[in-house]
A = this chain, B = another copy of it.
């Protein structure tokens, strides 16, 4: 069996009450006026017996678990992996432990995770919400469980969130491509109704409009999530049906990787035959034959801000929300040149 030493064991060993032990081991001996000798004995016994406090009991008593629930689409996706890493690091600094779950972009999974985490009394959530999660988030609000959304948010849900200015990101990337002289700039995105998808589309579309270009279906490729077959079909179509595409803007990291791969397979030369602008950083880009241009999100800052806001919300007596919109950066490299 597992050798569990409790406050009581220490109290017995030293010959004092558990109250004193509790005070001393929480460094509150002064406030409780514990005599130095007793304190010393208690500390020694604790060390001797190798005492480790039971956080569960503390939490039960205090009503605070010092745990944060993190719900991502997929922890194996490097974009979310990086986010998870910064969130974990920042949480550790703040004294919180992170419990993670992958929703797989499915709101049913996300709901199940949320309930599991609530049962574990997490103090708050950081969530990259799946499509259709609105009701669950409203529910969290009803329960007064603080949460911060990352990467995506919902216009109709009152909440804190940390996102980038997606409109501006794609707007500027598109404008850059047009400025470089590309004529038919295509846009590749998922066909969901998530706000960041919409914002990114609008950014693209606005930049086109400003340049006097019409966005026709010949320039658009909206594909199903998690469905490489659908992607290949539609993207190949886009690129090979005589649409005269001379530049492509991919609106997520997974689409970027899939897209580069497909262009390579099709033998379409970048940037000679088509210019390419990607979304998010990826170590894959480093191995691509042509240095890739991309929208760089400040992942570290997103994670840190999310944790900071959440911790503030947890500590606040009355509810508040904080919205943070960060700027992304365009990293311009060879792949978007006009040849």
Using a CB–CB cutoff of 8 Å, the interface residues on chain A facing chain B are 1-3, 52-57, 59-60, 65, 67, 74-78, 80-82, 84-85, 88-89, 92, 97-102, 115-121, 142-145, 257, 260-261, 264, 282-289
Q: State in angstroms the CA–CA spacing of A285 and B100 once bound together.
A: 28
Q: CB < 8 Å: which of B2, B67, B99 contacts A145?
A: B2
- CB A65 to nearest CB in B, in angstroms, measures 7
Question: In the complex the two chains form, what is the Cα distance from A102 to B100 in whole Å?
Answer: 13
- A60 B52 Cβ-Cβ under 8 A: no
Q: A297 CB to closest chain B CB, in angstroms?
A: 14
* A3 neighbours in B (Cβ, 8 Å): 142-144
- Asked if A85 contacts B78 (CB within 8 A), the reply is no
Asked whether B97 lies within 8 Å of A99 as measured between CB atoms, the reply is: yes
Chain B residues lying within 8 Å of A289, measured Cβ to Cβ, are: 264, 289
B84 touches A75 (CB 8 A): yes
Closest to A292 in B: B287
Check if A115 sits within 8 Å of B261, measured CB to CB.
no
CB distance A283 to B284 under 8 Å? Answer: yes
Known: A82-B76, A84-B76. A116 touches B101 (CB 8 A): no
**Which 9 residue pairs spanning A and B have beta carbons closest together?**
A76-B85, A81-B81, A284-B284, A55-B119, A76-B81, A76-B82, A287-B288, A289-B289, A284-B287
Most buried by B among A60, A76, A143, A287: A287
Are B78 and A101 in contact (CB-based, < 8 A)?
Answer: no
Which residues of the partner chain B approach A116 to less than 8 Å between Cβ atoms?
97
- In the complex, what distance in Å separates the CA atom of A338 from the CA atom of B18? 74
Question: Would you call A85 and B99 a contact (CB within 8 A)?
Answer: no
With contact pairs A75-B88, A100-B100, A101-B88 given, residues A286 and B284 touching in the complex (Cβ less than 8 Å): yes
Given A78-B81, A100-B100, verify A120-B55 contact (CB < 8 Å): yes
Smallest CB–CB gap between A250 and chain B, Å?
A: 13
